[in-house]
Amino acid sequence: MTQIANSPGSAVALELWPGKAYPLGATYDGYGTNFALFSEAAEKVELCLFDADGTETRVTLPEVDGFVWHGFIPNIEPGQRYGYRVHGPYDPANGLRCNPNKLLVDPYAKAIDGSFEWDQSLFSYNFGDPDSRNDDDSAANMPKCVVINPYFDWGVDRPPNHEYADSVIYEAHVKGLTQTHPDIPEQIRGTYAAVSHPVMIEHLKSLGVTAIELMPVHHFANDSTLVDKGLSNYWGYNTIGFLAPDFKYSSNPNPGGQVQEFKAMVRALHEANIEVILDVVYNHTAEGNHMGPTLSMRGIDNAAYYHLVDDDKRFYMDYTGTGNSLNVRHPHALQLIMDSLRYWVTEMHVDGFRFDLASTLAREFYDVDRLATFFELVQQDPTVSQVKLIAEPWDVGPGGYQVGNFPPQWTEWNGKYRDTVRDFWRGEPATLDEFAYRLTGSADLYEHTARRPVASINFVIAHDGFTLRDLVSYNEKHNEANGEDNNDGESHNRSWNCGVEGPTDDPEVNALRGRQQRNFLATLLLSQGVPMICHGDELGRTQGGNNNGYCQDNEITWIDWSKTDTDLLEFARTVSQLRADHPVFRRRRFFSGEPLGRRGQAGLPDITWFTPDGTEMTGEDWGSGFAKSLMVFLNGHGIPDMDTRGQRVIDDSFLLCFNAHYEPIDFTLPAKEFAESWTRIVDTASEPAPETHAAGATVTVGARAMVVLRAGE
């Protein structure tokens, strides 16, 4: 036991015990707190404890085992603020950037209180001279880590464990989703508590949502360049705390209160049978490139945590476009990622993860490697391997576009689905064959690796890009508010403004835009695979043509609940219910296209494609570049799935008629062997008339519209 000498102004008398090297971070056990920090570069590590008035007490951690510095202090309780100072070599040319004048965030902090106040002191060099060294003390301008209370009454909480095939994912931003909702108490809008408010849960349930995918909630930093412009990093893809829910989304003012509020949100969503998926950013951190600040890992062990340029370690490999890439070659960087994932599953009860720029995690050396160590660790981990794992299967480095190439237990954001469906409905030529692949689960991308349709997370809209309403209202991006002369954001959006750029009073243009939004929603929800809706698209949300709202924490990006398109919302609910009611739209296996014998409906295939005149599609039809219309038969008796009792799944059969042409087209329904009659149940051009059509009859599908018919006896 060691008696700690207090810093000037501190009245705290502390004892210091050796403690343990595991677990890393600050761990409260009811008697005191164990502190443990990895650094192979360190020569000495000081734990810095902060009183409520900012008084700092420095404690030299007494033990080091396997490069983990550790100590236990009795009577340190939840709410205690802390940070670290790491003494060691400052030699940027060799990848070493220790500087004890910089207070550092614990990479394993479970809560962080406060924001970064951008100041020269946060940087280890002097502005204007990147080769100099700056020794200004940064503590006053740094947020503080917080010791948390790990205890929480989960009650009977259980993960919903929805099958992928039965899932509807809803991508949402905690603040943007809830900030203006009139039925949510003002004091909790924009917070975790608001996401789990009964009116929000009711909305999600009415839409058939089974999982909410939250944009980054790990503690993140607002970029200084944005702050200088009066903007902020609204999206949050600038992580600095992989185990800490960001306090900015908490209505609980107590230090560490964000942890309790986040857990309460998860518990409430689980009670409503809704899963929680987190968008996680393990590919880079907020410390940026060699010109960035020293906030955490850079000052703890720069070469261990970051992928440096081999022949000049002053610089960072950047596969993310943000200045640095996490070093997945190093065991402690990998341990941090895996410990973070396990923590969010076991302690925070989340149900899965969407990995931002996931290709970066496969870059052990330079090229993307599907057998990289990270994927091997996930594969064998008994906790992480059992939750939903969704890859954004690309990064900005060479060979980074890896749609279809992730390991078997992974699902992927299917960027090819987005592009193909957008092209089809805006009338681009030569899209029929690829549209058919996307509609049926993208077998061309996933079947060769023994994956199934659910490997495809289908989406037309995500946070990055136009909203659904803007997709049909703008040909060009309008990002002037971002302060980059409209040079930021994607310029090739595969959008179509329906004849007028932006808002218009033209009733024909507005009617067409409404129809196009319904086309996209119906296509998305009735495709094989897992549909993902971007928050507000079911409501007609607009960002005024801004397709890169990453820096707009304001009315541009927040849902305006007062302008809800109630007709569009009701349509989305109807089609989502249709999907939920009929397993033929959420098959667990790919279509074969082969006759099914006695298992099938009179020996019919599980799927058949028709031209509008009712003849089966030929190779020539698929290759017709000008064709923009087709019809597909889905055999409800040809589903090769079993229910929970081992009984074969049998469903109704359906016809889906797609017309992306600018004029109405008459579709001839198939012969009696497919069905005696057909009833129109969805029509994106109008309210479907309750009429039944005989086999071989003609059904008119409006210009740029989609019709769904259900088979009768």
Q: Kindly report the CA angle at 96 between 309 and 131, in degrees rounded to 5?
A: 80
* Selection from 503, 425, 512 nearest residue 686 by Cα: 512
Given 113, 301, 339, 356, the catalytic residue? 356
3-state secondary structure (DSSP) of residue 645 = coil
Query: How many whole angstroms separate alpha carbon 375 and alpha carbon 354?
Result: 14
Rg (alpha carbons) of the chain, rounded to whole number = 28
Q: Phi/psi at 333 (nearest 5 deg)? A: -70, -40
Burial of residue 11 (CB within 10 Å: 0-12, 13-18, 19+) is exposed
3-state secondary structure (DSSP) of residue 343 = helix
Is 533 within 8 Å of 468 (Cβ atoms)? no
* Helix, strand, coil % in the chain, rounded to nearest 5: 25, 20, 50
Query: How many whole angstroms separate alpha carbon 144 and alpha carbon 235?
Result: 22
Residue 220 β-bridge partners = 239
Q: Which two tokens stand for residue 166?
A: 């039965």
Element containing residue 693 per DSSP (H, E): strand 692-694
Query: How many whole angstroms separate alpha carbon 641 and alpha carbon 587?
Result: 7
Query: How many whole angstroms separate alpha carbon 29 and alpha carbon 457?
Result: 41
Q: Does the active-site annotation cover 356?
A: yes
- At position 174, the amino acid (one-letter code) is V
Query: How many whole angstroms separate alpha carbon 482 and alpha carbon 238?
Result: 17
Q: Which two tokens stand for residue 143?
A: 């947020």
Given 113, 213, 339, 392, the catalytic residue? 392
Q: What is the DSSP letter of 617?
A: P
* Selection from 112, 107, 100 nearest residue 58 by Cα: 100
Q: Does the active-site annotation cover 392?
A: yes
Residues with Cβ within 8 Å of 476's Cβ and at least 6 positions away in sequence, in order, are: 491, 501, 545
Residues with Cβ within 8 Å of 156's Cβ and at least 6 positions away in sequence, in order, are: none
Is 327 within 8 Å of 305 (Cβ atoms)? yes
Point out the residues that are catalytic: 356, 392
